[in-house]
């Protein structure tokens, strides 16, 4: 396949684009999805770039300078005038959702082993992005763009560049390989890197701690059954367990053989793989194994030596159905790019390259790919469309700039997008796929992705009410009934401690965290109550009650009282805010201050 052949004469750095940036164009799906397209000569004439593309690509925007601000309101007006230039025609604001450095490798490796091609321009800008993100001193890559180089970051991003055709002797590769070897080589990788190396056939599955698919065959009442895990954790370990269960690896070829030589400080063929299972570099080991996990791994390792074939086949069937449910529930977008590409590998293995599932995956893969000044990367989801629009519209109304005639069209378009984005029905395989109800909810990104998120729903309810009730002449596009559906969702998400989680209620006991096998992330095994989610829900309920006082009034009062008690007495607000809102410094403090005041004032935030 041409997109995976070696490239000669690559630039030494990624300082300048490897493609013609004037040809990159954003296209949009019906529900606000983003797909970057590289235009032909004819297309460039028919659909030239807009201000939106030029802004995100770092090109001159050709806009007039705004007048100097005399006061805070005029500064805000200037900001809004600039933001309006970045609003997409359908009403939302397109934008990058970057940070993690473990997402792009999953897409590259998953595409390679399943035969999904990249366009040449995509390949070049992916290479350039990784060149630009290489640590300037250490060489290599970390867990995220600001982190130090780690075994996980170097291993999977190095493999990605080699897959895309970068020679092993390119200076960036030589430096990265040296950094990896200083850290002990790929035998010191954490589990998520081990998984992708096993899939690439450059690491033996015997060196991976057990991920048995039989977990999914347990009765639902078992307290550590995967359906009780946090959604991001369980949706990753579903396809992991399938591929582990069959020990699948891509066939050997020249690249695989070369990587076996490049990633290790020892001879690949002399490595004692079982003894590598718990060997993780100190920089990568964020959460050490608990004694309970170590004991479980010993038992599961013994089971793997005598796994019962009929039981394994039954478990694999259960796991495969979960993967299909996830694909069907999300239009093949899946929860995020991590499990999307893992699911892609599983369905390729089971159904083949000519299957409908494989073709549909190729059609949506680009939705999470984004072109920026530094090159092409993969975002944390297929965007942050809903999350961005709710705060922009709330600011427009609260500042009263949305009431000004020149801003009404922008606000109306945003309301129309919010109307479209609300999820109107539950997932088709809600019960079978262990999904939380979604009818009435708003997602983090787009409606087709389809996952209920508590704070996104709360903030969207507030935005809709702000626009429809505070701005004269605005149409009531979102009906009272649909707002009530959203309130039903929120009320149903309260945890026993009074707080609210992200996607679902807490399903498992606290001690399940002791079974966390990821090594690079903490508190991922079960849902947890978060102050930011709780305050979003509380303020949304308060604002809703002002305009619709008769709907579930006693339930709202009860839920609000318990939530405020949680906020005042039962939460470590500082820890949660820093950890979960830390990636949004421009939003964290205003949200925290405004909502804290709302709760202290008997929840009369309006």
Domain boundaries of the chain, sorted by first residue:
103-378, 385-600
Distance, CA of 148 to chain centre: 21
pLDDT value at position 584? 40
Instruction: Categorise residue 487: left if φ over 0, alpha if ψ from -120 to 50, beta otherwise.
Output: alpha
Nearest residue to 395 (alpha-carbon basis) of 88, 96, 81, 76: 76
pLDDT at 572: 53
Q: Which of 293, 199, 191, 273 is nearest to 237 (CA)?
A: 191
At 235-254, the pLDDT tens digits run 999 999 999 999 999 999 99
Active site residue 455: yes
Alpha-carbon distances, residue 6 vs 168, 259, 393 (angstroms): 10, 14, 48
**Is the pTM higher than 0.95?**
no
Compute mean pLDDT per 10 residues along the chain, 606 residues long, and list them. Answer: 91 97 97 96 94 97 90 94 96 95 98 98 99 97 97 99 98 98 98 99 98 97 98 98 98 98 98 97 97 97 94 98 98 97 99 98 97 97 97 97 96 98 98 98 96 98 98 97 99 98 98 97 97 98 98 98 92 45 39 42 37
Q: How far apart are CA 405 and CA 473, in angstroms?
A: 11
Q: Does domain 103-378 have CATH number 3.40.50.10860?
A: no
SS3 string, 66-123, reads CCCCCCHHHHHHHHHHHHHHCECCCCCECCCCCCECCHHHHHHHHHHHHCCCCCHHHH
C-alpha distances in Å from residue 554, one per residue of 407, 498, 505:
38, 16, 21
In the numeric block, which tokens belong to residue 279?
């060997």
Whether 103-378 and 385-600 share one fold: the answer is yes
Tokens of 455: 């704070």
Decide: 587 and 532 in contact? Cβ < 8 Å.
no
Q: Do residues 422 and 435 make contact, with C-beta atoms less than 8 angstroms apart?
A: no
- Positive/negative CA dihedral, 365, 367, 371, 375: negative
Report the chain's terminal Cα–Cα distance, integer Å: 58
Three-class secondary structure of residue 170 per DSSP = coil
Q: From the CB of residue 265, how many other CB atoms can be counted at a distance below 10 Å?
A: 13
Cα distance between residue 302 and residue 60, in whole Å: 62
Residues 572, 333: Cα–Cα separation, whole Å: 34
pLDDT at site 187: 98
d(CA 499, CA 537): 9
Number of other CB atoms surrounding residue 100 within 10 Å: 21
Residue 210 and residue 244 in contact, taking contact as beta carbons nearer than 8 Å: yes
**Catalytic-role residue among 455, 485, 488, 555:** 455
Number of Cα atoms under 13 Å in the Cβ half of residue 596: 12
Q: Which CATH class is domain 385-600?
A: mainly alpha
Residues whose CB falls within 8 Å of the CB of residue 173, separated by 6 or more in sequence, listed in order: 158, 161, 162, 166, 167
**Res 577: pLDDT:** 46
Produce one character per residue of 13-34: b if its CB has 16 or more CB atoms within 10 Å, e if not.
Answer: ebeebbbebebbbbeeeebbbb
Do the strands 369-372 and 34-38 form a parallel or antiparallel pair, or are they unpaired? unpaired
Spell out the long-range contacts of 87-91 with Cβ–Cβ below 8 A and sequence spacing 24 or more.
87/410, 87/413, 87/414, 88/26, 88/28, 88/32, 88/52, 89/413, 90/28, 90/32, 90/413, 90/416, 90/417, 90/420, 91/389, 91/412, 91/413, 91/414, 91/415, 91/416, 91/417, 91/418
How much is the pLDDT for 571? 47
């Amino acid at each position: 396949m041409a997109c995976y052949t070696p490239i000669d004469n690559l630039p030494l750095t990624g300082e300048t684009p490897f493609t013609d940036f004037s040809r990159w164009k954003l296209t949009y799906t019906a529900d606000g999805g983003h797909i970057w397209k590289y235009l032909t000569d004819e297309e460039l004439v028919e659909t030239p770039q807009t201000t939106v593309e030029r802004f995100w690509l770092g090109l001159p925007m050709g806009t007039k300078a705004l007048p100097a601000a005399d006061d805070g309101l005029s500064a805000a007006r200037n900001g809004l005038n600039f933001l309006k230039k970045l609003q997409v025609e359908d009403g939302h604001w397109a934008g990058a959702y970057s940070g993690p450095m473990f997402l792009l490798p999953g897409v590259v490796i998953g595409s390679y082993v399943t035969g999904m091609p990249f366009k040449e321009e995509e390949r070049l800008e992916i290479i350039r992005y990784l060149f630009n993100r290489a640590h300037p001193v250490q060489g290599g890559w970390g867990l995220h763009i600001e982190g130090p180089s780690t075994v996980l970051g170097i291993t999977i991003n190095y493999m990605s560049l080699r897959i895309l055709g970068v020679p092993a002797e390119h200076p960036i590769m030589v430096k990265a390989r040296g950094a990896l070897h200083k850290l002990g080589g790929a035998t010191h990788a954490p589990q998520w890197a081990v998984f992708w190396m096993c899939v690439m056939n450059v690491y033996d599955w015997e060196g991976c701690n057990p991920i048995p698919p039989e977990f999914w065959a347990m009765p639902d009442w078992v307290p550590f059954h995967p359906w009780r895990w946090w959604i991001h954790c369980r949706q990753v370990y579903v396809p992991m367990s399938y591929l582990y269960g069959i020990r699948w690896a891509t066939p050997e070829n020249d690249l695989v053989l070369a990587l076996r030589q490049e990633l290790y400080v020892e001879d690949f063929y002399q490595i004692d793989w079982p003894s590598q299972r718990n060997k993780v570099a100190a920089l990568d080991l964020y959460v050490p194994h608990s004694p309970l996990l170590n004991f479980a791994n010993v038992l599961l390792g013994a089971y793997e030596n005598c796994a019962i074939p009929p039981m394994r086949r039954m478990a694999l069937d259960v796991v495969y159905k979960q993967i299909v449910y996830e694909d069907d529930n999300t239009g093949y977008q899946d929860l995020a790019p991590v499990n999307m590409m893992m699911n892609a590998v599983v369905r390729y293995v089971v159904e083949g390259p000519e299957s409908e599932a494989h073709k549909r995956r190729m059609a949506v893969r680009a939705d999470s790919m984004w072109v920026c000044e530094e090159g092409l990367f993969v975002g944390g989801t297929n965007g942050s469309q809903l999350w961005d629009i709710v705060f922009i519209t709330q600011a427009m109304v609260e500042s009263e700039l949305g009431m000004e005639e020149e801003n009404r069209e922008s606000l109306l378009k945003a309301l129309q997008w919010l109307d479209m984005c609300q999820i109107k029905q539950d997932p088709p395989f809600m019960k079978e796929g262990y999904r939380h109800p979604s009818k009435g909810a708003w997602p983090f990104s787009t409606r087709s992705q389809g996952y209920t998120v508590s704070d996104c729903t709360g903030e969207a309810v507030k935005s809709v009410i702000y626009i429809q009730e505070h701005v004269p002449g605005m149409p009531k596009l979102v009906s009272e009934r649909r707002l009530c559906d959203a309130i039903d969702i929120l009320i149903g998400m309260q945890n026993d401690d009074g707080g609210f989680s992200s996607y679902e209620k807490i399903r498992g006991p606290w001690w399940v965290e002791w079974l966390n096998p990821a090594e690079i992330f903490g508190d991922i095994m079960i849902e947890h109550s978060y102050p930011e989610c709780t305050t979003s829900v509380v303020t949304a309920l308060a604002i809703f009650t002002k305009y619709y006082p008769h709907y579930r009034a006693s339930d709202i009062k009860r839920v609000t009282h318990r939530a405020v008690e949680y906020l005042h007495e039962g939460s470590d607000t500082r820890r949660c805010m820093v950890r979960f809102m830390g990636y949004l410094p421009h939003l964290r403090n205003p949200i925290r201050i405004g909502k804290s005041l709302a709760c202290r004032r008997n929840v009369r935030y309006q």
